A = this chain, B = another copy of it.
Amino acid sequence: MTNATRTWGGTTLADRRADRRRRLVEAGIELLGGGDSTAVTVRAVCRTARLTERYFYESFADRDALMLAVYEHVAESARQAILDAVTRVADTDPEEQARAAVRAFVELLIDDPRKGTVLLLVPITEPALNKRGAELLPTFTAMIRDRLPDGYDDVHRELTATSLIGALTYLFISYLDGSLDVPRERLIEHAVGMLVAAASPPDATS
Contact = CB atoms under 8 A, between A and B. Distances in A.
B168 A38 contact: no
Interface string A25-49: 0000000000110100000000000
A64 to B, nearest CB: 13
B194 A163 contact: yes
Interface string A92-122: 0000000000000000000000000000010
Given A38-B127, A138-B179, A179-B138, A166 B159 contact: no
Size bin of chain A's contact surface = 35 or more
Interface string A119-149: 0010011010010000000100000000000
A37 to B, nearest CB: 9
Interface of A: 35-36, 38, 121, 124-125, 127, 130, 138, 155-156, 158-160, 162-171, 173-174, 179-183, 186-187, 190, 193-194, 206
